[in-house]
Amino acid sequence: MKIASWNINSVRHRIQLVARFLREHQPDVLCLQETKVTDDLFPAAAFHKLGYAHHALHGQKAYHGVAILSRMPFKQTGVQDFCREGHARHMGVTLQNGLELHNFYVPAGGDVADPDANPKFAHKLDFLQGMEKFFGKRKAAARSNPVMLLGDLNVAPLEHDVWSHKQLLDVVSHTPVETRLLGDAMSAFDWCDVTRHFVPPDQKIYSWWSYRAADWAASDRGRRLDHVWVSPGLKGALKSQTILKKMRGWQKASDHVPVMVEVDI
C-alpha cells in the first residue's frame, strides 16, 4: 500500500491540487497537515468522489489542523494532546489491516531560537519532548507492531537536510536543541527514518522551499521538514519512498511537497 504525507497549507484553498495529486499518484492513505479548517467545513464530499470515503479529522479554524483520508476503513481513531496550547496537531488511526498511523503537525517555533525570549519556540521544544515521552512509555513489544509516524515535524535533523548546515545552525528548524530533541523522540521507539533508509545521509534532499524565494528551483535552498518514520516491526516491509519535488512548481502550490512511501502489508 502507498501512504502519503503533505502539509497542504489550507485544504480548501488547494483542493484542486490535492485532487490532482490523488488522481495521478493513487495513494491508499493521505495524511494532511495545516488543513486550516474546522471539521464541519472540511471538503469531505470532494474526497468521497475520489474514492477516499474514510476520514479522521482534527481541525481548527484558520490555523493548524490534521486529517487522514483513506480508501480503507478505520478500526480505531483518536487524538493525543501533545500540545499545551490546545492546537489541532495530532490524529491517530488504526487501519483495518492493523497498521497504526500517527499524523503530526509539530509547531514551527517562530523566528527566534530562544525559548526564554520566544514562547513559540518554547512550545515547540515542549511538543517534541511530549512526543518522546508518549512513545517511550509504550511497551518494547509494541515496536514489533506495524506503526507509522508521519507529518510535518518542522525539524531538519541532519546536515544534508538543509541547503547550508553552517548557515542554518542558529535558524529555527535546524538548531542543535531541536535536532537533539527530534533524535530523542526517534530513539524512544526505535523509529526508522524512511527517507534516509533509502537516501544516504550524505545526499541532500528537501521537502520544503520558502515562498520568499521566487527562484526556489534555481537556488534550491530547501529543508527536509516532512518525515515518515516506521517501527522496527514495519522496517522490513518498506518498498520505496518518494519526495515529489516537482509539485512545488505547481500553480498556487504549498511550500511543502508530499512524501510518499510504499509498504508491503
Cβ-contact 124, 185 below 8 angstroms: no
**The one-letter amino acid at 57:** L
Sites in the chain below the pLDDT cut of 50 = none
How far is the C-alpha of 147 from the C-alpha of 230, rounded, in Å?
A: 6
Instruction: Match domain 2-263 to its CATH number in 3.60.10.10, 3.40.190.10, 3.40.50.300, 3.90.79.10.
Output: 3.60.10.10
Q: Are 182 and 128 within 8 A, CB to CB?
A: yes
What is the spatial distance between Cα 165 and Cα 168, in angstroms, rounded to a whole number?
5
Distance set, CA 214 to CA 66, 159, 210 (Å)? 28, 24, 9
| pLDDT value at residue 179 | 98
pLDDT in tens, 91-138: 999 999 999 999 999 999 999 999 999 999 999 999 999 999 999 999
> According to the model, what pLDDT value does residue 84 have?
80
Helices (H), the chain: 15-25, 44-49, 119-136, 165-168, 176-188, 194-198, 216-219, 232-235
**DSSP letter, residue 217:** H
Determine if the pTM surpasses 0.95. Answer: yes
How far CA 44 is from CA of 10, 37, 47, 67, 87, in Å, comes to 14, 12, 5, 11, 21
The pLDDT of residue 85 is 86
The pLDDT assigned to 214 comes to 84
| Cα-based angle 7, 29, 2 (whole degrees, multiple of 5) | 105
